[in-house]
């Protein structure tokens, strides 16, 4: 397609971007293939972030592209209202097969934010359906990221996302599990299991019978990669069980192989009641999300009179055919290429590479698990431009894509990454960290 105005940047109000800074020095991507982006000035940029934690199968994979093209010419849209189409059922069944045991039902959305708000609504409606309408409280966690819709920012705990906006009433937060004594841990840190006990304290204050759900990211990504201390998720599960609180794992980042298993639920061996996912479901190619529910949850909605729509919720594009085609093709690529197993096999190499940066200037912590890595830099007091952002700009100049949150650099490459790419990421980042010192 010929572009008439490729240099007119005035109309697009960019998301999550410092618009004024960007428009002075735009960073444009024009193509992608496998592990690389092509920049507008023709450079091959190694993707160290799988787009935005989503392109787990790598870029422009023919199987996915062809499935989308085929579907666009066959059934472009079907109403998500009293109608179905075969791909949606097929994808739900495939997801069920891939999901942890017991997650037998799938509710489709179009994003992680929608998955989170959908899961919160399912939790509230579930208790209503069982005659426990007094359970309306929600518990999230400080530094948690659950998207940008009102449910998500209410249970979320990243200050900048909450500032300026009202939150849902009756929401409280657990402390973040980011502890100094865990610095430079490899994998799950030792200290901090006790932080889960705050849920018990809140159950004592508000009454456990008033809490509907507790939502956490098993590994939080957007706040700068914060891992669950050993025993922490188990303890949360036990407290939820004791008080009849539903446990929701937000697996928008950790789903689809990122942790070397299909879901973090499998990796940690702790089973929630609801799982939210998105991103890797279509390898980031078409917007799509889902909530995975156990039979216990789903069945509570199926027991009323049949003429009532059991859970009155959905989106125009829930399970839209082209997204389903992308999802089915993506799950096939994961299976055929054994990408989750591959992530597991590469974890040790990845861990060594990420931790090899620990002696670089200003590094105060290195964290990793699965194919996620984070390098935390010492903040510069009073400095508006964070070291992390300087590192991101310098890295892009040097042909690697990283992500930063404040002063933490996060990496989460496509699962097709080769050892040579891991070396390139680490070596380039080493140069970057020395140069921005
Ligand atoms: N939950 C988590 C854990 C996420 O990491 C994200 C996105 N990074 C979201 C929800 C929101 O997803 P989306 O941007 O697709 O709405």
- Give the Cα separation of 263 and 105 in Å (integer): 16
- Looking from the CA of residue 113, the nearest atom of ligand 1 is 16
- Nearest in space to 28 (alpha carbons), one of 8, 2, 48: 8
Whether 166 and 270 map to the same domain: the answer is yes
- State whether 57 and 110 are in the same domain: no
Q: Are 124 and 52 found together in one domain?
A: no
pLDDT at residue 47, as a whole number: 98
Question: 190-193: long-range contacts (C-beta < 8 A, 24 or more apart)?
Answer: 190/229, 190/230, 191/229, 192/229, 192/232, 193/229, 193/230, 193/231, 193/232, 193/235
Its domain, for residue 399, covers 19-61+338-435
Q: Is 119 in the pocket of ligand 1 (CB under 6 A)?
A: no
Do 191 and 238 fall into the same domain?
yes
> What is the Å distance from ligand 1's center to 221 Cα?
9
Calpha distance 263→253 (Å, rounded): 9
Task: Report pLDDT for 382.
Answer: 82
Residue 307: what pLDDT?
67
Same domain, 289 and 373: no
* Closest ligand 1 atom to Cα of 220: 3
Residues 244 and 374 reside in one and the same domain: no
**In the listed set 337, 355, 373, which residue is the last one of a domain according to the structure?**
337
pLDDT for 377 beyond 90: yes
Domain-located, residue 9: no
State yes or no: pLDDT of 320 exceeds 70.
Answer: yes
Whole-Å CA distances, 8 to 5, 11, 15, 16, 28: 5, 8, 17, 19, 13
Span 240-268, average pLDDT: 98
Contact 412, 256 (CB under 8 A): no
Range from 127-136, 178-187, 305-314 carrying the lowest mean pLDDT: 305-314
DSSP codes joined into one string, 93-133: HHHHHHSPTT--EEEEESSHHHHHHHHHHHHHHHHHHTT-T
Distance 252 CA to ligand 1 centre (A): 6
How do residues 210-235 score in pLDDT, each as one tens digit?
Answer: 999 999 999 999 999 999 999 999 99
Average confidence score pLDDT of the chain: 96
The verdict on 97 and 160 lying in the same domain is yes
One domain, residues 298 and 330: yes
Q: Which atom of ligand 1 is nearest to the CA of 276?
A: 1
**Distance separating the N- and C-terminal Cα atoms of the chain:** 43
Mean pLDDT value of segment 47-61: 98
For residue 119, name the pLDDT band (cuts at 50, 70, 90): very high
Query: Where do we find the tokens 């940047």?
Result: 9
Contact 252, 291 (CB under 8 A): no
């Amino acid at each position: 397609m010929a572009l008439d105005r490729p240099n007119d940047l005035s109309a697009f109000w960019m998301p999550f971007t410092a618009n004024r800074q960007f428009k002075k020095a735009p960073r444009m991507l024009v193509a992608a293939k496998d592990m690389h982006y092509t920049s507008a000035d023709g450079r091959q940029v190694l993707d160290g972030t799988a787009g935005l934690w989503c392109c787990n199968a790598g870029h422009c994979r023919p199987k996915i592209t062809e499935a989308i093209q085929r579907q666009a010419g066959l059934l472009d849209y079907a109403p998500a209202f009293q109608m179905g189409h075969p791909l949606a059922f097929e994808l739900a069944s495939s997801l069920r097969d891939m999901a942890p045991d017991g997650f037998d039902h799938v509710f489709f959305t179009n994003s992680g934010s929608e998955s989170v708000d959908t899961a919160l609504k399912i939790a509230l409606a579930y208790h209503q359906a069982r005659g426990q309408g007094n359970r309306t409280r929600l518990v999230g966690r400080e530094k948690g990221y659950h998207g940008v819709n009102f449910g998500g920012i209410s249970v979320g705990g990243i200050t900048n996302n909450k500032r300026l906006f009202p939150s849902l009433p009756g929401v409280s937060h657990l402390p973040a599990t980011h502890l100094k004594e865990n610095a430079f841990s490899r994998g799950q840190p030792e200290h901090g299991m006790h932080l889960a006990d705050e849920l018990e304290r809140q159950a004592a204050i508000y009454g456990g019978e008033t809490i509907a759900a507790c939502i956490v990211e098993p590994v939080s990504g957007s706040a700068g990669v914060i891992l669950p201390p050993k025993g922490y998720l188990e303890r949360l599960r036990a407290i939820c069980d004791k008080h009849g609180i539903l446990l929701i794992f937000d697996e928008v980042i950790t789903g689809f192989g990122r942790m070397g298993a299909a879901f973090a639920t499998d990796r940690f061996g702790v089973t929630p009641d609801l799982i939210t996912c998105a991103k890797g479901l279509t390898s980031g190619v078409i917007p799509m999300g889902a909530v995975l529910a156990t039979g216990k949850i789903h069945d509570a909605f199926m027991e009323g009179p049949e003429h009532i729509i059991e859970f009155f919720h959905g989106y125009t594009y829930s399970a839209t055919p082209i997204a389903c085609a992308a999802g089915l093709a993506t799950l096939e690529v994961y299976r055929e290429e054994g990408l989750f197993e591959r992530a597991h096999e590469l974890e040790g190499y990845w861990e060594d590479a990420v931790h090899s940066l620990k002696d670089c200037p200003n590094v105060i912590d290195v964290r990793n698990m699965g194919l996620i890595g984070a390098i935390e830099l010492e903040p510069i007091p009073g400095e508006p431009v964070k070291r992390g952002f300087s590192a991101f700009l310098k890295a892009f100049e040097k042909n690697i894509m990283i992500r930063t949150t404040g002063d933490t650099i996060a990496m989460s490459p496509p699962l097709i990454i080769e050892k040579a790419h891991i070396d390139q990421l680490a070596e380039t980042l080493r140069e970057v960290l020395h140069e921005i010192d």
